[in-house]
Amino acid sequence: MAPSRTSLFLLVSLLLLSTFSDVAYGRGKLRPSDCSPKCTYRCSATSHKKPCMFFCLKCCSKCLCVPPGTYGNKQVCPCYNTWKTKEGGPKCP
């Protein structure tokens, strides 16, 4: 049975949406020079700015991605989200 035009349209729409959502959040698309301003914002709400910046810059240089906002949203950057410490906790702020 051939796919209908509606299902083809939905498939193409989903592919385009996923492509443009990657660009919008910079998932793996940052240049190393973009890390500092992104991490400065990411760490702006914490009282532990030095360690936050250290680990954020380290994670950004490896993953070329920083999640949006000052907290959470790590699912946007899979590499950033899955990098763990020796103890198993999250490495990236």
Question: Domain range for residue 63?
Answer: 31-92
Query: What's the rounded mean pLDDT across residues 42-63?
Result: 96
Residue 69 has which token pair?
């906002």
Rounded (10°) CA dihedral 73, 35, 90, 80:
60
Contact by Cβ (8 Å): 67, 42: yes
> Where is pLDDT greater, at 13 or 86?
86
Look at residue 61 and tell me if it is in a domain.
yes
Establish if 81 belongs to a structural domain: yes
Helices and strands in the chain, H and E counts? 4, 0
Residue closest to 90 by CA, chosen among 7, 44, 63, 6? 63
Cα separation, 64 vs 39, whole angstroms: 11
Residue 35 to residue 12: CA distance in whole angstroms: 32
Is the pLDDT at 87 greater than 80? The verdict is yes
* pLDDT mean over 62-85: 92
- pTM (2 d.p.): 0.68
Q: Total domain count for the chain?
A: 1
What are 2-23's pLDDT values in tens digits?
A: 567 777 677 676 665 555 444 4
Report the chain's mean pLDDT, rounded to a whole number: 83
pLDDT on residue 80: 87
At 9 the pLDDT is 74
